[in-house]
Amino acid sequence: MERPLVTIGVISYNSAATIVETLESVKNQTYENIELIISDDASKDNTVEICRDWIEKNASHFSRVEIITTKANTGTCGNCDRLLDKTTGLWLRIL
C-alpha cells in the first residue's frame, strides 16, 4: 500500500529559541513520506539561519524540504497563506 505525501508546515516568527525543538519533533515522526515546509514571517532574530543550518543536516529525512521567507511581516494569516501555496501533500498539518 502506497503512503500518501503528508505536508508538515511550520510557521515561524522570531522563533530562534524554540525552532530546533519543533523541527526535531517533526523529524522524529515515524511516518516516512513527509514534506517539510517552513514559512518564516520576517523574523528579526536568527530563526531563518537556524532553520537553514538544521535543514542542511536533516533534509534527507524528508521527501521534500522548503523554507519560505518574506521581507515584510504579514501576520499569522499571511504566513499560513504562503505556506499553503507551497504544499503538495495529500494531507497537511500546520505547527
CA dist 44 and 34 (Å) reads: 28
pLDDT at 27: 97
Exposed / middle / buried, residue 34 (Cβ in 10 Å: 0-12, 13-18, 19+):
buried
Phi and psi of 62, rounded to 5°? -125, 155
Instruction: Please list the pLDDT of the chain residue by residue as tens digits (95 residues).
Output: 589 999 999 999 999 999 999 999 999 999 999 999 999 999 999 999 999 999 999 999 999 999 999 999 999 999 999 999 999 999 999 99
Q: Which of 50, 69, 56 is nearest to 11 (CA)?
A: 69
CA dist 1 and 83 (Å) reads: 28
